[in-house]
Each structure stands twice: as C-alpha cells, then as structure tokens.
Structure 1
Amino acid sequence: MILIVLAFHSVLPYLASLPPAAYPFDSEPYLWLAFPIVDSQRWFGFDLFCAWQDVVLMTLMFFLSGLFVPSSLARKGSWKFLSDRLLRIGLPMALAIIFLAPLAYYAAYRTTATDPSPKAYWQHWLALPFWPCGPQWFLGMLLIFNALAAATHGFVRGWGQFLVRLAAFASGNPVRFLVVLVVISALAYVPLVLAFSPFAWVNIGPISFQSSRPLHYLVYFLAGVAVGTCGLDRGLLDRDGVLARRWPAWLSAAFAGFLLWTVPTSVTMADWGNASLFAKLAAGMGFVVACAAGCLCSLAICLRFAHWRLRAFDSLSANAYRMYLIHYVFAVWLQYALLGNDLFAIGKAAIVFGGTLIMSWSIAAAIGGAPPVSRLNATMRGARRA
C-alpha cells in the first residue's frame, strides 16, 4: 500500500488533465495542495492510474486500518488503546505537519513566486487561512476514527457482540458484503457529494479532508473493524476462501465498477454545479460501487497470490509508516528539480518514484535505528503484547 502511495504522489505532475501552468500559491481554492508541481510533460495513462487510486487506495487504507482495532481494544481497553494511538499516530502526524509540510510545499511556492526567498515564502505561508498538512490528512481522520472506536467500545454496551453478528452476516459471503458496503456507503456518501461536490476540500487549521468523503471513509473503517472481529485469516480474509478463489470475477467487477464511475464523472467534472441531478447521482453511485468492488478485488488478488516472503519486504514493512510520513518532501522536490527537463513524462515519473523510494526508505530505516525511536518502538511492542 505504501509503495502505491509513493507511486501516486510521484506521477501527479504529469497528468494530462492538469492546466498548462502551476496553480498560484495565494489564490483559492489552493489547488497546489493536491498538485504542488505542474510539469509540461504529460501522459494520459497516469490519469487512469490516479483515478483508480482515488477510488480504491484511501478507502482500502481505512478498511485495513480498522482490521486491527478489535484485537487491540480487547487487549488494552479503551483508554490504553487511545493513549497508544495518540503516541503512535498523533505525535508523528503533528511533527510531520509542523516541520515537513512547509518544507515540501516550498517547492510549490517557488514555481509561481516573484520572490522565491525563504523569508518571503514564510510570510506567504503564515498568511494562509490554514496550515497545510499534506498527506497527513489521512492520519488526522484515522486518529478521529480510532477515538470514536475507543469511545464506543468503552461506553456502548453490546458493541462487541454487534460487530460479531455483523461480521458473521457479511464476511462469509463476499457478494453480500459488497451489497452491504454499497448500500451503507451510498447513504453516507451520496447526500454529501450532492451538497458539496466530489472535488471540494475543507481546511480547518492543520486538519484537511474532502467534504464529501468523511462518512464514506468511516463506513470502511468500521467495516474493517467488523471483519477484524473474525480474525485475519478466516471469513472474508481466508486465503482459501470464496473471495480469494474467485479473484477473476472480482477483477471483472472492479473494472465494471470503475467504468460506472468514470463515465458519469467525465460528464460532471467540468462543471459539477450545472450538471443534471441524474448525472450527479450516477457519479455518486458509481463511486460507491467502484470503491466496494475495487477494494474486494484488491483483497482477493492479495489473498490469492501474495503468499511469498522476501527479506526486502520485511524491511519495507518495518519502515513503511515512517516512509509515509517523510516521503512527500522527496517526491515534490524531485519533481521540482526535473522541471524544464525534456525527458518524457514516464521517465520523469520513474526517476521521482525511484528516488523517493530509495531516499525515504533509507532515512526511515536510519530513523528507526536511532536510540530514541528504538526505545519508543520497543515500548510500543511491549504495549501490544500486554
């Protein structure tokens, strides 16, 4: 998943759908937050890749994050669980937002600035009506969802039994699980997308999120929590189960769902406000179907084929979270360094991805070996065993 995140951020400047020039730093809607660098070299294949990841990637990450919540809550209880999440998620997120976000976005500022000096940049940065957080918006929402799970576990009686019944109803039958996801996420997503559009973002201080998606992501986080009550090797996640065995059917379903989303979205994207209600509803329903089918397809393929183990992947697993925290600085500045180079978009994207992977992985491994971080990791491992 982290490799896909790195690839997603590496190819953003090379989308064929981007405007010819970079977005201005001081003007709403501050689209440089999503596209810090805009390059003249483009390839439409990256548009398709990013569109697919926009549908599946973050939704699946929230689902996977929810999988591990039930066992952790059962071991630690609500207060210990929440304090550990504040230490593991909240503290690194705060440090990344305070120090790394300004460093990453300095490259975006320089592409349009008349005065590119650090002093002028800092003045423009402080004049913004919010504090940009970059990719750490995901951690902010995840922390909120974990707090909700901890509060529910502590104060709502019968919460665990309800999750067990829900998981038993849906997890043993992937098609039933798909239908449940589509129905509930449609109720959570469609009203908000009609009210705010699928492209609008909310920025409140250091917190940022797409206004149409918080409840959608919460649905998938809770779905992960429900599936996690059954364990990570049974029910829906049984590698010899129905989902894994029928991965070709789920691949076809994912492709069909993607088409259901892209066709009406291509009609509404240019002017969402003036699009017909039918087109908006079709785009909204296409999104929830594409998310559900895409997530189940990804799970099916991994359950069916990802059984081997490599030493390099062990290292990647150990350092993946730190790579997520720091990679954006390298991606954006490598993209900035390649501006004006006549190399084709695929070549630039490969350089950015390779450089970002090597540098973020190396530094993440070095940070992980530092004594303070090693002691913190040992403390967290001890807490998980407790």
Structure 2
Amino acid sequence: MITMSHSATVGADVHAAPKAKARNLSLDRARTFLTLVVLLHHAVIPYTYFGHTDPTSWIGFDIVVLATDSFFMAMFFFLSGLFTWPGIARKAPSVFLRDRLLRLGLPFAIAALTVIPLAYYAIALRQNPELTFAAFWWKTVTVGPWPSGPVWFVWVLLAFDLTASLLYRVSVHLVDPINRVSLRGFERPVVFWLILVVITTIVYVPALLYFGGNRWFEFGPFSVQASRILLYFAYFFIGVSVGAANFDHGILGADGQLPKSRWPWVVATLIPYCLMWGMIYIKREILGNPDIQPHWYQAIYGTLFVLFSAAILLAILAFFLHSKAPGPNLLDRMQADAYGMFLVHYPIALWLQYALFDYEWPAIMKAAIGFVLTVLLSWGVTAALRKIPGASHVL
C-alpha cells in the first residue's frame, strides 16, 4: 500500500512541467538486450519446427522461438513508449514530427529499398540461382510481394508516435489512469500486471479469433500482423502512461518492489509458457495440426499468450532494475549502435544461413556461428555507418 506521504508527493507533480530525462542505465541495457534477442530469434528460426528452412533442426530452438515471438515486439513497443509523453510535451508538433520522420521514417524508407530486398534475395537465390539482384529488386518494388522483414516495427512505431502526439493535443490527462496504476505498482507490481493482462486480453484475443494468427495487413512494404496491431498499441500506450510522470515512483522505480520480487516473476512467466506448450501438443497430436484452429483453442492459447507476455516483460525488467553493476559492460558498449544493428542485421543473418545451408553440421553449430557473426557484423556495419556525417542523428 502506498503511504499517504508518498501519494501526496507523487500526486502533486503529475502534470508538472516536463524535464529532459537522464538516460536510464537499466532500461538502456534492457533495450540493448532485447535487440540481441531479435538477432538470436532470426539466427535460430531456420533450425526449428516453426520455420524449418534448413535440413537440420533442434527442439531447443523451438523453445527459444516460442518464447521470443510471444513477447519481444510487444516489449519493444512498451520500452519505446516510456519517454514519448514528456518528449511530445517539450516539442512543438512540427518539431516532434520532423524528429520522428528523421529517426523512424527515413531509416524505414532506406531499409525497405535496400536492406530488405538484399535480405530476401538470399532466399530467392535458393529457388532460382540465375536470378540477378537487379531483376529481383525491380520485381519486388514494382510487382511485389514487398515484405518488410523485421523493420515493419519502425513504421508502426512512427504511426504510434504520431497517434500519441494527436492524443496529447486532445488531452494530456489521457494517460492519468494507467499512470496511477503504475504508481500503485511501485509497491504492488501484481496490480500493474493484472491491469496489463486485462487490457491486452481485451484487445488481443478477439482480434486473434477474428483474423487468426497468420493474417497480415500489407500494402507495399507496410505490413503488420493483423491480430497483434492493437496488442502492440496497448503495450505502447501503457508504456507512454508509465513514463508520463513520476517514473521513479512507479512500477519501474529502482527502489520499488518489482526488482525485489524478480524470482516470483520468473515462476509467473514459466507457468503460462509451459501451458502454451501443452496447447501446442493438443493442436499437433489431438487436433491433427489444422491450418485453422477452433475458436476455443485460439481463445485459450491467446489468453496464455498475454499472461506470458505480461509476466516476462516484468521479469526481464525486474532483473535489469535490480542490477547495480556500474559498467561499462558489453550491453553498455553496444547501446549506441543497437538501433542500427536492428535495422541492418536481417540480410546478414539470411546470407549467413544461405552460406551454411549445404554444410552437414549440427543445427546448434550453424545457429551459433550465425548468431555470433550476425552480432559482430551488424555491430561493425552500424559503427561504420554512424561515422558518416549526420548518420548518428538517424541511427
């Protein structure tokens, strides 16, 4: 329970003039860690049951991919929203729009025209070794399909940021209810978790039942998974609300209960995760692995999905908030380049998989080589790109 003195203190400055926030070491590390999770996800997915595009596979990678796919993009949106509200408040609408277009719109346009076609060319060559890149690129941008790969996140985040800017102009108080829940979460994280679960269940499960899990909205390089778009916006807006005011006195306060209760959150993560595997067993062994699952199955699986996503979000953040290591560690050194690594890693990962395809090596060896080289090469490419004058303002 929050004491009266604490409540009075935090309630007094909810709408105080925003100040520029100093970098939060714990959140920076969590964001960089999440970038490495994305690289790991794309390094191992060819060697799984889910995305079996290589002759070898290993069940351990299925365990990894089920977990990562069930939370990492939602967590990215949550972290991206944390400092959005104060940022909007400090800038004129035109300045905020210009900054977001520079930081998100320009990288997306460049990546959609270069990085992503280069990545998918590796897959096309497997089917047609005589295909030239020029011919593949022209067909991609004129006829399609024009997949966006992982950079779909960038244009969706831009859309969310612009939506948040409009909502701020409607009323600065829109974030107040969830911000108050965040304040309660300082001492009772489970309250915040419950609200997160309720909101995300409401926006995700009906969408999953209506669209199914495989449908994507697509228009040229602009694509997003139909059943998850509202889920992602919910995570983003909840992040916006948490970061709107009184950050250090909310759910992510370093002195709050969340970092002190990190191990129970691990248990809360493992329970729905194991039950998700139980549902996958039912789908494959009892239902015959149908392309379209019954609604009862999707409703149960979707509920477990949001329970897991919310729990692992808090579990990961709890461990990073608890860590007092001053650094600089590997994550600190990588932090400035993490966004660029996210943007450029995909063709590196796919071309490494293309190069390793014909080797009769164990899946673990291929994935390990692919992951390590993807990290090193994408880090090196980003560091080199950031030396171009003005590039550091974008990457």
Query: Could you say which TM-score interval applies, normalised by the shorter chain?
Result: 0.7 to 0.9
Name the SS for the 1:322 alignment partner.
Answer: helix
Matched, 1:258 2:273: yes
Q: 1:367 is matched with which residue: 372, 385, 388?
A: 385
Q: 2:47 is matched with which residue: 2, 14, 30?
A: 14
Name the SS for the 1:131 alignment partner.
Answer: coil
Task: Check 1:121–1:349 CA distance in 2 against 1; reply closer, same or farther (3 A cut).
Answer: same
Name the SS for the 2:224 alignment partner.
Answer: strand
Task: Check 1:129–1:121 CA distance in 2 against 1; reply closer, same or farther (3 A cut).
Answer: closer
Q: 1:334 is matched with which residue: 348, 352, 371?
A: 352
Q: Is the 8 A contact 2:259 2:319 kept in 1?
A: yes
CA distance in 2, matches of 1:358, 1:225: 32
Matched, 1:41 2:24: no
Q: Is the 8 A contact 1:78 1:154 kept in 2?
A: no
Partner of 1:68: 83
Task: Check 1:356–1:306 CA distance in 2 against 1; reply closer, same or farther (3 A cut).
Answer: farther
Partner of 2:197: 182
Matched, 1:80 2:95: yes
Of 68-77 and 146-155, more deviation after overlay is shown by 68-77
Q: Is the 8 A contact 1:192 1:213 kept in 2?
A: yes
Q: 1:240 is matched with which residue: 245, 250, 255?
A: 255
Q: CA deviation at 1:272?
A: 4.8
TM-score, length-scaled by structure 2: 0.85
**Counterpart residue type for residue 4 of structure 1:** V
Partner of 2:164: 149
Structure 2: gaps (5+ residues): 1-33
Pairs aligned (count)? 358
Q: CA deviation at 1:185?
A: 0.7
Matched, 1:206 2:221: yes
Tell me the percent identity.
36
**Counterpart residue type for residue 134 of structure 1:** G
**Counterpart residue type for residue 387 of structure 2:** G
CA distance in 1, matches of 2:175, 2:199: 20
Q: Is the 8 A contact 1:73 1:81 kept in 2?
A: yes
**Counterpart residue type for residue 184 of structure 1:** I
Q: CA deviation at 1:210?
A: 1.0
Task: Check 1:111–1:69 CA distance in 2 against 1; reply closer, same or farther (3 A cut).
Answer: same
CA distance in 2, matches of 1:157, 1:220: 18
Provide Cα deviations, 1:46-102, integer angstroms capped at 9, x if missing partner.
011010001121111111011111221221144322221111011011100111111
Of 311-320 and 221-230, more deviation after overlay is shown by 311-320
Higher relative contact order (CA 8 A, sep 6+): 2
User: Superposition pairs for residues 1-386 of structure 1, below 5 Å?
Assistant: 1-19=34-52, 38-113=53-128, 115-122=130-137, 124-126=139-141, 128-156=143-171, 158-159=173-174, 161-162=176-177, 164-170=179-185, 172-268=187-283, 270-273=289-292, 275-305=293-323, 307-310=325-328, 312-374=330-392, 376=393
Provide Cα deviations, 1:163-204, integer angstroms capped at 9, x if missing partner.
543533555421111111111111100111001112222221
Of 336-345 and 159-168, more deviation after overlay is shown by 159-168
Task: Check 1:283–1:100 CA distance in 2 against 1; reply closer, same or farther (3 A cut).
Answer: same
Q: Is the 8 A contact 1:267 1:279 kept in 2?
A: no
CA distance in 1, matches of 2:254, 2:197: 23
Name the SS for the 1:111 alignment partner.
Answer: helix
**Counterpart residue type for residue 325 of structure 2:** H
Name the SS for the 2:338 alignment partner.
Answer: helix
**Counterpart residue type for residue 372 of structure 2:** G
CA distance in 1, matches of 2:186, 2:98: 30
Of 264-273 and 247-256, more deviation after overlay is shown by 264-273
**Counterpart residue type for residue 355 of structure 1:** L
CA distance in 1, matches of 2:176, 2:65: 39
**Considering only aligned residues, what root-mean-square deviation do their CA atoms show, in Å?**
2.2
Provide Cα deviations, 1:299-348, integer angstroms capped at 9, x if missing partner.
11221236341254333111111111111111110110011101111111
CA distance in 2, matches of 1:360, 1:114: 26
